[in-house]
Structure 1
């Protein structure tokens, strides 16, 4: 059984991070590239969002005995196999995890154009994965 309190905290954290990112939704690419504070806020909160989604996915897997991921990239595959995510959602979540790994391990190499594209055009993907987890967990 998925621990409701833990998941609720993680869901609220994701929603708070989305709210912070949206503070910069009116920025042009040029404004974003010139504003280091905006860059830091967006990148850090994207990291937190994906980490919380990973944690939720791990809780679902663990609490339902769906397997043992050996790497974060295994989580979307296991969730697809369990029919919690479809093929498209699995690919979206895998891309998020890859991006999170770039933030975590190669911060200096982050392409700010990619970050801008994510926060301007891909927040719906985050909300999609989050909604799948909320639906599955009945929260």
Structure 2
């Protein structure tokens, strides 16, 4: 089946939007982040939104290529097997997917300093995902 380019492009735009807002929170600084519950809660929601968007794209492409992932983490590994993303990026995104599960299902155990570090460093993986998928879609 053919990939729905419009759907993928919409999801990629949503991820980019969430990443822009996460960047604004990071620029506010760690001290402000840790002392401001609105920023902490917004950041967690934006991370969930970005990771969910990536999973949505991942699942769409995987299924259209005849593969049904078993989990969020497995989905990114499937994209690596299909040649959409590099294997090391898929592994980092799989860790991000597991972090998403903690945000959603065990939110009361979240270390806010870890959230800040993920926003500061690991969201680059989502930017790389957006680039890789965008290039893949153009080749199709």
Specify if TM > 0.5: yes
8 Å Cα contact 1:54-1:72 kept in structure 2? yes
Structure 2 alignment gaps of length 5 or more: none
Inter-partner Cα distance in structure 2 for 1:126 and 1:80: 14
2:55 aligns with 54
In the aligned structure 2, how far is the partner of 1:77 from the partner of 1:21?
Answer: 25
- Report if aligned partners of 1:2, 1:63 keep a CA contact under 8 Å in 2: yes
Local SS of the residue matching 2:72:
coil
* Residue 18 of structure 1: aligned partner: 19
| Distance (whole Å) between structure 2 residues aligned to residue 52 and residue 28 of structure 1 | 26
Structure 1 residue ranges, 4+ long, deviating more than 3 angstroms after superposition: none
Q: Would the aligned equivalents of 2:16 and 2:127 in 1 still touch at CA under 8 Å?
A: no
1:43 Cα offset (Å): 0.8
* Counterpart Cα distance in 2 of 1:25 and 1:113: 12
Report the TM-score when normalising by structure 2: 0.91
Q: Deviations over 1:8-54 (max 9, x none)?
A: 21111111111221222223322211101111111100100000000
Q: What's the C-alpha RMSD, in Å, of the aligned pairs? A: 1.4
Structure 1 segment 65-104 matched on structure 2, within 5 A: 65=66, 67-104=67-104
Partner of 2:135: 135
- The TM-score, its normalising length taken from structure 1, stands at 0.92
Alpha-carbon separation, structure 2, partners of 1:68 and 1:77: 12
* Equivalent-residue separation in structure 2 for 1:26 and 1:68 (angstroms): 38
* Aligned length, in residue pairs: 138
Quick check: 1:61–1:78 contact (8 Å CA) kept in 2?
A: yes
Equivalent-residue separation in structure 2 for 1:18 and 1:96 (angstroms) = 14
Bigger drift between 17-26 and 43-52 goes to 17-26
